Structure 1
């Protein structure tokens, strides 16, 4: 089992850190599906915001295309071999304000359906005895296939809103084996550090 995995950030531009294991473990409030050290990054604009907050946005679901990061390129965070790809889930509406409460109530149903239902479109990259998962990708955007070798910084897909996601973002976790149902969570860092909740990562590109 890998003791930890050090990654590059899988994007350029400005991204907001959420659900960081630097703040708490398990980072997402559960150890289910080896997510103890998982982390989320939400793409934001130059002002640090996502889609504009309007009265309508707080009262009903919004198209994911309203968000500045929807479709933003994602890059391989490490050299390795792609060992799994799932790319057929639709990008559903985004939920903020009161609509997000109703959406949250459906999480248990998705959890019962398994990790793929939570992850949405995703890929797994195996490297150095561990496996990195990138989840919630845009439908049809994954640019690699199982068995393909990838290098750090190579475009692999685009940010989407598939699976268990209230707005476009990327969920990243490291595990010790390819089988997520049987895997153990592996701690991860980015360039030997780990951002905290609320920290904005700005990567030139």
Structure 2
């Protein structure tokens, strides 16, 4: 049985949980690219909004990534380790909350798959925590990566900023644990997070968790 990888949440502030493996595995509907247990976090404000407002672009078109609270937020190392990959230079593309804008984007998915990891992950950092245990942080902001291959980092070290690069419809950070740094052959590993406060989707108040996997649609913050 695969070991469970224990991590910190890789940020401060409040974030909405999407594609949680607490809901299903594989969490993103595929085991490709080591993503079986991957989880997504979307930065939100105190009211749970991912952006300060909506207008005609929200309904009919794309929106600039700078409009979203997550864009530019600090992304931190979720555990101590060694940087084994640090890819930058992929542009942050427009965000898409509109169903009209999402349709052509989804039709382009096969092409992104053919182009490989950079087209899907965008700007990303991979840490090796120990032999056979790796963690990837994905969809980072172009030009924001602050570490290089070979760096040893402690948990909480600034790695980059949240962006909207790669296969991303609005700014968020994608986190996954896996058994190889090579996404083409990596298998996903189960993960858990320590010391976080969770506002479950159907609850009126927060729950403090020493360890766990946040639920789909909940809001979390580290403590």
Q: What is the TM-score of this pair, normalised by structure 2?
A: 0.88
In structure 2, the residue matched to 1:94 is: 95
CA distance in structure 2 between the partners assigned to 1:203 and 1:184 by the alignment: 27
Report 1:91-130 matches (<5 A): 91-98=92-99, 99-129=101-131, 130=133
- 1:52-67 → structure 2 map (5 Å cutoff): 52-67=53-68
Where does residue 198 of structure 1 map in the other structure? Answer: 217
1:88 Cα deviation from its structure 2 partner: 0.4
Q: Which residue, out of 154, 177, 182, partners 2:180? A: 177
3-state SS, counterpart of residue 49 of structure 2: coil
* 1:1-205 alignment, distance < 5 Å: 3-51=3-51, 52-98=53-99, 99-129=101-131, 130-191=133-194, 192-203=211-222
Number of residue pairs matched? Answer: 204
Cα RMSD (Å) of the superposition?
1.3
- Structure 1 unaligned spans of 5+: none
String of CA shifts for 1:125-170, please: whole Å, max 9, x gaps: 0012300000000001010000000000111100000000000000
* Secondary structure of 1:103's aligned partner: helix
Asked if the contact 1:23–1:196 (Cα under 8 Å) also holds between the matched residues in 2, the reply is yes
Larger RCO, structures 1/2 (Cα 8 Å, 6+ apart): 1
TM-score when normalising by structure 1: 0.96
Q: Give, in angstroms, the shift of residue 203 of structure 1.
A: 2.9
Question: 2:222 & 2:187 partners in 1: Cα distance?
Answer: 30
Contact 1:2 1:128 in 2 (8 A): no
